[in-house]
Amino acid sequence: MKARTVPQRGFNLDYLMWLFTRLSALTMYLFAIIGISAALLMGAREQMNLEALLRWTFMPNPSHVATTDVVDLDAWGGAFWQIIAILFVFFAGTHGLNGLRVVTEDYLNPTWLRVMLRGLIFLVWLFMIIVGIYVIVTS
């Protein structure tokens, strides 16, 4: 098996995606901290079990707290939480599929299969983002 060539210095796709992966991980931690903090401030410490709190943290959606004893669901269903959820889906999906792209490129020689898998990963990413946004906006 032939070794992968070292990318050129400067701004290229590999460097930008490496940087994105690090920043998206930090962003996902930030969203988790915001979700837990907001849930606890809005009364989750008295009205939710740990499972519901974690569901809310990683996918803020009013239907996630509907099974709890939370009285006011209006605070949970605002546009702010929809935007947080959409951003979380974007960052998590892009982060994960970029990791899959890197692993795929590490083990494949530059052939037509590599190009096809890169295209397939892009289509899966696009489909996942569209479905995620649809579910978040319509629920």
- Average pLDDT for the chain: 81
Domains and CATH numbers, the chain: 20-138 (1.20.1300)
Q: Where is average pLDDT lowest: 29-38, 70-79, 109-118?
A: 70-79
pLDDT over 80 at 109, yes or no:
no
Answer whether 0.85 is exceeded by the pTM: no
pLDDT at res. 135: 87
What average pLDDT score do residues 25-32 get? 92
pLDDT at 25 (0 to 100): 93
Predicted local confidence at residue 131, as pLDDT: 94
The residues, ordered by sequence, that sit 6+ positions from 61 with a Cβ below 8 Å of its Cβ are: 76, 81, 85, 136, 139
At residue 60, what are phi and psi to the nearest 5 degrees? -65, 115
- Taking alpha carbons only, the member of 95, 86, 78, 131 closest to residue 19 is 95
